[in-house]
Structure 1
Amino acid sequence: MRDDYSGLTALAAVADKRSFTAAATMLRVTPSALSQSIRALEERVGVRLLQRTTRSVGLTEAGARFLAQLRPAMASIHAAFESLDAVRGRPSGTLRINVPRLAITPVLEPLLAAFLATYPELRLDIVVDDGLTNIVEQDFDAGIRLGETLDKDVVALRLTSDLRMAVVGAPAYLSERGRPKHPRDLHAHDCINFRYLRSGAVYRWEFTDKGREFTVAVEGRLVTNDNALQVRAALDGVGLANVMEHTVAKELTDGRLIRVLSRFCAPFPGLFLYYPSRTQLPPKLRALVDFLRARPPEAMAP
């Protein structure tokens, strides 16, 4: 039974990571040991569960059905082991969190050292991911997201104040091209577009006018999936950028960037820690929730 469970854990890890090497790193075993566990499981059940090629690995149809039926039971077993931490009176183990890049500086950096010092037997595994990852399917304990992207069936804890977007440009660019008075004027400007890495879609700039929300598909000669590069390009006069207000606070203060269309950029819910609704939180997740609740939400306005 123990060998079977080891094989199931290995199978789930490879299915999630789509890589023997990445799965082995997560489980802290060698790739050869991981492969041996899965091979033993396949021999035990008499069905091939993984489809391997020289470039990729994935579940077979039978493997996908098998793992889908097993995941709820595996989650229960995992939770049962973690519940023993409460008996020991101290949180321990690995806490896996999925976060977007925009949460790193304002939320994570100020608390990491203090949190790890408070709970020396806890390990943090933080995956930076700007996609809308399903944290349950990918075996995360919790995630951080903008409030407007949260599902209704999760528990959410506010981490920051409301946020705003800011359309900004360099003084030299605006002097040459003029300042847009309305979002429809953006069609006459070079705009620095943002592309979502996972979906490949280009972000449509969002605005509000007299309570009416609308989007504008802007054009420009630069598209990127990196916010810092957007700001750098705006500073260099490449065009207008639409970025989080707090990320350009210093540049706005010292005049290297100028904000336009401010009245069309309404506040929206900030960042939240979220996790699946559970009757009893694992001690390691409870430790993080209590730690964050003791801290006031970060103010993100410039």
Structure 2
Amino acid sequence: MLTSQDLEFFAVVAAAPSLAGAARALDVTPPAVTQRLKSLEQRLGVRLIDRSSRRLHLTPEGTALAARSAAILEEMKVLAASLAARRGEIAGPLRVVAPLGFGRAHVAPVMARMRQDHPAVELDLILSEDPAGRIRSDGWDVLVQVGPLADSALALRHLAPNRRILCAAPSYLAARGIPRSPGELDRHACGVIREDRADVTLWGFTHLGGETVTIRMRPDFASNDGEVIKTWAVAGLGIVQRSEWDVADDISAGRLVEIMPDWRLPDADVVALLGPRAGRTARLERFVDMLHRSLTPVPWRRNGR
């Protein structure tokens, strides 16, 4: 007969690179792991680990047990959280996916406060340059996105407005001049953030008078890291488009200058999605409410921008 402790033990073993690694994760000695694993195999009547190599390899039976163990343990967590919610307690796993920079600056602090207010909540934050690329996985409860989403079937909550801003350093503009319209950008150095799903060299603008223009530009510098692109722009390499939340302080401090203010890029509002398996539990509702309150009033518009 299997117990929940058996499932938790084998889940750790299955995720480890070796039995020694499993011992470190479990904070026990390697012989203790070996002995417990042998006992589990004897009770089940099957071999779970292939011991023919130095690295840990699961047998087909071990692979099946690892998959079912993960599913059962997850269901147990969900059940425990559901029962806690009935008692009015906020508890259980909180798995959040968020953009790298925005997640560090605005999501992680809210998660810390959530844990402080509700110590039974288990935090798991994944930071990514492309959070939306994880939409079709089920390993998250809340996904925070800056910008439009192709998949709108999931429950969505608007958190804060956020413009995209075209900007450059004063030193660059002093040396190369200030473009007044999209058609002048081909005479300037421009940088982009490389994203797997986005056509980052196609820039679309809408004039305050209603005219729309789309240009295909050739980037002079690029990176998959938005912070790198902003640092290069501040250093005077050229023109970039960045989220308002990211560059508002740089513009206020004079490190960057907004250009072509009469031509607007598409907005990139901040939204939160609830995962397909998450539902509207008290835990997730509380977190999204806390996140929304932390962005109200909008922190990057404190100076009336």
Q: TM-score, normalised by structure 1?
A: 0.71
For 2:61 and 2:13, how far apart are their aligned partners in 1? 13
> What amino acid does structure 2 have at the position aligned with 1:149?
L
CA RMSD of aligned residues (A): 4.5
**Cross-structure match for 1:141:** 141
For 2:199 and 2:35, how far apart are their aligned partners in 1? 43
**Cross-structure match for 2:124:** 125
Question: What does 1:103-118 align with in structure 2 at a 5 Å threshold?
Answer: 103-104=102-103, 107-108=106-107, 111-112=110-111, 114-118=113-117
Native 8 Å contact 1:79 1:282 kept in 2: no
Quick check: 1:207 aligned with 2:204? yes
Structure 1: gaps spanning 5 or more residues: none
**Cross-structure match for 1:166:** 165
For 2:93 and 2:201, how far apart are their aligned partners in 1? 37
For 1:255 and 1:193, how far apart are their aligned partners in 2? 21
For 1:68 and 1:213, how far apart are their aligned partners in 2? 51
Cα distance, 1:293–1:178 mapped onto 2, change above 3 Å = closer
> What amino acid does structure 1 have at the position aligned with 2:137?
E
Structure 2: gaps spanning 5 or more residues: none
For 2:254 and 2:167, how far apart are their aligned partners in 1? 11
**Cross-structure match for 2:286:** 287
Corresponding pairs, count: 291
Quick check: 1:189 aligned with 2:175? no
Cα distance, 1:104–1:191 mapped onto 2, change above 3 Å = same
Per-residue CA deviation, residues 57-81 of structure 1 (Å, 9 max, x unaligned), is 9999999999889987765444223
Cα distance, 1:187–1:115 mapped onto 2, change above 3 Å = same
Deviation at 1:99, TM superposition (A): 1.0
> What amino acid does structure 2 have at the position aligned with 1:252?
I
For 1:19 and 1:46, how far apart are their aligned partners in 2? 21
Native 8 Å contact 1:208 1:266 kept in 2: yes
Q: TM-score, normalised by structure 2?
A: 0.70
Native 8 Å contact 1:96 1:140 kept in 2: yes
Deviation at 1:111, TM superposition (A): 3.4
Which structure has the larger Rg?
2
> What amino acid does structure 1 have at the position aligned with 2:115?
L
Native 8 Å contact 1:193 1:224 kept in 2: yes
Cα distance, 1:57–1:128 mapped onto 2, change above 3 Å = farther
